[in-house]
Amino acid sequence: MGIWRDEVVPRATDLLLDTAEIRRLREETVGGLRGDVVEVGFGSGSNLAFYPPEVRRVLAVEPSEVAARLAAKRIAASPVPVELVGADAQGLSVESSSVDAAVSTFTLCTIPDPGTALAELLRVLRPGGTFTFLEHGLAPCASVARWQRRLNPLQGRIAAGCQLDRPIDRLVAEAGFAPGKLRNLQLPGPLALRPFGYLYLGTATKPA
């Protein structure tokens, strides 16, 4: 599984999460940010094209060396400076209360302990700072949720630990964030793909 996880999954993720619909949602997720931003699960840098000029720098956290190599061209072309600051969202090498915003896109599904990662994001945000996220997770439809649970073992093996049924909004609130806007949507496609495409697009803030 080493070659599959380390070499194939990052490249497949780069391709599969680069549709026109996903790009539009990425822009909605990061388009209003400013100041210093920490992005966990930076991947191949797919969000970079959508950061506004008000963003001063992006502190990128990414465990995959292949994904980081894929991001090199996007980083070089980005007007926003990018600093690679670590590989583990569960232990950020960022000072407490030092960034204005945090971003996670298609990442909380794979982090072994998402609660710890979210607590770290809360720690590094300044009071009043914003956490924006675009994640797939638990669907409200009981039949879809059942299939998510059934598919989790296979999904975890083929997608580097990805879990389909994490309740993203609940995890964010339990970490101590004040909930903000939340929009849920189902990606279009055949019924068989519904367990993979229930999305949470939202914001939350660190209480002052």
| pTM of this prediction exceeds 0.85 | yes
For residue 49, count other CB atoms closer than 10 A to its CB: 14
Looking at residue 81, the DSSP 8-state letter turns out to be -
Which CATH number fits the domain that encloses residue 106? 3.40.50.150
Q: How many domains does the chain have?
A: 1
pLDDT tens, residue order, the chain (208 aa): 589 999 999 999 999 999 999 999 999 999 999 999 999 999 999 999 999 999 999 999 999 999 999 999 999 999 999 999 999 999 999 999 999 999 999 999 999 999 999 999 999 999 999 999 999 999 999 999 999 999 999 999 999 999 999 999 999 999 999 999 999 999 999 999 999 999 999 999 999 9
Domain that holds residue 75: 2-205
Q: What is the DSSP string of 149-166?
A: HHHHHHHHHHTTT--S--
Q: Residue 125: which of 86, 97, 93 has the closest Cα?
A: 97
For residue 44, count other CB atoms closer than 10 A to its CB: 25
Torsion (CA) 121, 126, 129, 134 in degrees, nearest 10: -20
**Exposure string for 176-195, b = 16+ CB within 10 A, e = fewer:** ebeeeeeeeeeeeeeeeebb
